[in-house]
Amino acid sequence: MKIVVLIKQVPDTTEVKLDKKTGNLIREGVDSIVNPDDRQALELALQLKDDCQAMVTAVSMGPPQAVDVLSEALGMGCDAAVLLTDRAFAGADTWATSTTLGKAIEKIGDFDLILCGYQAIDGDTAQTGPQIAEYLGLPQACYVDNIENVEAGKITVTRRNDEGYERLSLTLPALLTVSKITVAPRYPMMGNLIDAGCEDAAIQIWNAVDIGALNSELGMEGSLTQVVKTFSPKTKRAGELLEGDVPEMVSELLGKVRQAHLI
Amino acid sequence: MSMIRSDSEALIKKTMARFVDEEVIPKAREIDESGEFPYDLFKKLADMGVLGLRYPKSVGGSGGDTVLYCVAMQELARGLMSLAATTAMQCLMATNGLYLYGTKAMHEEYLYPALKGEKIGAFQLTEPEAGSDLGNVRTSARKTADGYVINGMKTWSTNGPKGDFHTVLCQTNPDKGLKGLMFFFIPTDTPGFSHSKKFDCLGTRSSTLSEIYFNDCHIPKEYCLGEEGRGLDVLLTILAEIRIMTAALAIGLHRAAMDDSIKYCKERVQFGKPIGKNQLIQAKIANMAVNLEAGQLMVDKVTRLVRDKKSCLNEASMAKYFTVESACSASDEAMRIHGAYGYSMEYSVQRYYRDNRFLLYGGGTHEVLQTTIARQYLK
């Protein structure tokens, strides 16, 4: 079985700081990490590798320093990695990103399953995974939290919804977006991280020419949407849920009201 | 396209930092209060390949070096010194002699399991009458037809009661003093081996320290680690590394004390403003930061000298002395910044204050280190 996992490098903060003039993210002084949902996708892929000797390739699109998330993926146990980096990719919206990643996956060619995080914490669109599935003409399931089995060209997965769980069966090849799996993703192995920094590491670097893409399909030029303004939502009031039995909650509530000098 | 690769040192630092933030710090207080060594975390570190960081892959290591090893230990010490000290011991002192001088069979039976966290090693130098004065080691190794018989006792043995095997400094010929010293490998299940109960110590409460006793312990000749009479040379091959590792542990603790202090300075409001707005508090933070930066530079320099097999015992001694004293000062200042809360067991700064004392003695007392450092300039 051959699995492609799509991962993104994102800023390590839930409180994104923005440049007031440009509206762009301020990345200086902010560490970058593997997008949390993507790390969960990696874990699901590596569990399949543990169970059925799958070959796992991690793919990321970003600036050269995004190689770090691929090195971490190799550290966790992925077999190979591809970094898509080119100035032509800059400024891509989810449509152009999906096109770029879709073309890279077409170049990889031989795959049974694509996994990616449900959404990235720096964009929260949850569009890229489904759009790649559409681009490649694959069946897809979003919000997957568990893979039950892979058998006879089909994969059975579960996902949570408002009423409970759904069990879905998809014909392979397919694409899954992943979120809230029950197992904590594994930590990278030291030896693998050391290998990932070596010249002969299993990391390929591809640009627009390598994936056979036209500039008109990529980056800002290939985007259908443009960001007019980026801002952090300002929370003026925050709710707080009290837990426990009624007397406990009443007592706690009174304490908070007194603390706020309301009574 | 041109080569684009990650910096493995940065990746290891980041991975260890995440492990410490997610797995160690949330449990540190509970572990310290229980006094029980966290074997579950130790095994997780082994599964990540941390225990084998400075050994080649050919013996089950991760293929790293002293720089990467010290980066990892530094992060671990930021979380919990007991865990860091035991891990550092397992990576270096407890296993280095076995790695260098052990037979293939010994590697298979002890080294590979040790790097997987399945067996624990200990290192025995100190005796009641021989601390810095190693020439006075009295644990004896008497040669027999097929090996040696070991008699004597060791003290302040980290992992002593829990160890599966021990690297022990013995005297083969009392008339030769330092030139009669030799290291031996002694498995815990050797008849005649025993230990005292765990010491009740001020800091590193979940580490296990004890006395160790050898009563007619017969060991085969292949359990000699190095040439007869070259024990001091064997020790000197890793002494600089032991000292810089200790310095790395101090850097981790210093950083923890500083991080907690910065957080508290911003949160604690007195006279209508956070206490971090007061100049005397700022001076404490500034001193912590300057000392930390200077110590980090020393550690970065010396770990590279050790990695490149350059002579650097004096530099390592200076780094150990400076960073541990700085960490002592930082943990003291952190308690002062926290005021009475620093005196409470609820805040971690009291643990940093207690744990840092452990670093004052291992790898050479500072009184001895100052003497040896001065000698380099007065000769």
User: What's the burial of B341, exposed, middle or buried (CB within 10 Å: 0-12/13-18/19+)?
Assistant: middle
The reply to whether B148 and B167 lie within a common domain is: yes
pLDDT single digits (tens) B214-265: 999 999 999 999 888 888 888 888 999 999 999 999 999 999 999 999 999 9
Residues of chain B with C-beta less than 8 angstroms from the C-beta of A67: 4-6
Verify whether the Cβ–Cβ distance B48 to A189 is below 8 Å: yes
The nearest alpha carbon in chain A to B63 belongs to A191
The reply to whether B238 and B372 lie within a common domain is: yes
Q: Select from A71, A189, A203 the Cβ nearest to the Cβ of B49.
A: A189
pLDDT single digits (tens) B123-156: 998 888 887 787 888 999 999 999 999 999 999 9
Q: Select from B6, B15, B52 the Cβ nearest to the Cβ of A197.
A: B6
B1 found inside a domain? no
A213 found inside a domain? yes
Report the number of distinct structural domains present in chain A.
1
pTM for this model (two decimals): 0.91
A207 touches chain B (CB under 8 A): yes
The reply to whether B266 and B248 lie within a common domain is: yes
Verify whether the Cβ–Cβ distance A189 to B18 is below 8 Å: no
The reply to whether B223 and B330 lie within a common domain is: no
C-alpha distances in Å from residue A197, one per residue of A57, A234, B6, B26? 17, 41, 5, 31
B343 found inside a domain? yes
CATH number for the domain harbouring residue B339: 1.20.140.10
CA distance A195 to chain B (A): 8
The reply to whether B183 and B262 lie within a common domain is: no
The reply to whether B373 and B239 lie within a common domain is: yes
The reply to whether B289 and B353 lie within a common domain is: yes
The nearest alpha carbon in chain A to B72 belongs to A190
The reply to whether B251 and B347 lie within a common domain is: yes
Domain range for residue B332?
232-378
Residue A206 · residue B1 · CB < 8 Å? yes
Verify whether the Cβ–Cβ distance A194 to B8 is below 8 Å: yes
A262 found inside a domain? no
CATH number for the domain harbouring residue B84: 1.10.540.10
Mean pLDDT score, A198-214: 94
A13 touches chain B (CB under 8 A): no
CATH number for the domain harbouring residue B154: 2.40.110.10
A243 found inside a domain? no
Question: Which region, left, alpha or beta, applies to residue B59 given φ > 0 means left and ψ of -120 to 50 means alpha?
Answer: alpha
A197 found inside a domain? yes
Q: Which of B49, B81, B115 is the last residue of a domain?
A: B115
pLDDT single digits (tens) A131-161: 999 999 999 999 999 999 999 899 999 998 8
Report the number of distinct structural domains present in chain B.
3
pLDDT single digits (tens) B300-357: 999 999 999 999 999 999 999 999 999 999 999 999 999 999 999 999 999 999 999 9
A238 found inside a domain? no
The reply to whether B311 and B342 lie within a common domain is: yes
ipTM exceeds 0.90: yes
Phi then psi for residue B51, to 5 deg, are -65, -25
B306 found inside a domain? yes
A203 found inside a domain? yes
Verify whether the Cβ–Cβ distance B61 to A191 is below 8 Å: yes
B333 found inside a domain? yes
Per-residue confidence (pLDDT) for residue A15, from 0 to 100: 57
pLDDT single digits (tens) B71-123: 999 999 999 999 999 999 999 999 999 999 999 999 999 999 999 999 999 99
B251 found inside a domain? yes
The count of CB pairs under 8 A between chains A and B is 84
A263 found inside a domain? no
Domain range for residue A140?
2-231
Distance CA B238, CA B88 (A): 13
The reply to whether B243 and B359 lie within a common domain is: yes
Residues of chain B with C-beta less than 8 angstroms from the C-beta of A195: 63
The reply to whether B293 and B236 lie within a common domain is: yes
Q: Select from B6, B7, B57 the Cβ nearest to the Cβ of A191.
A: B57
The reply to whether B110 and B134 lie within a common domain is: no
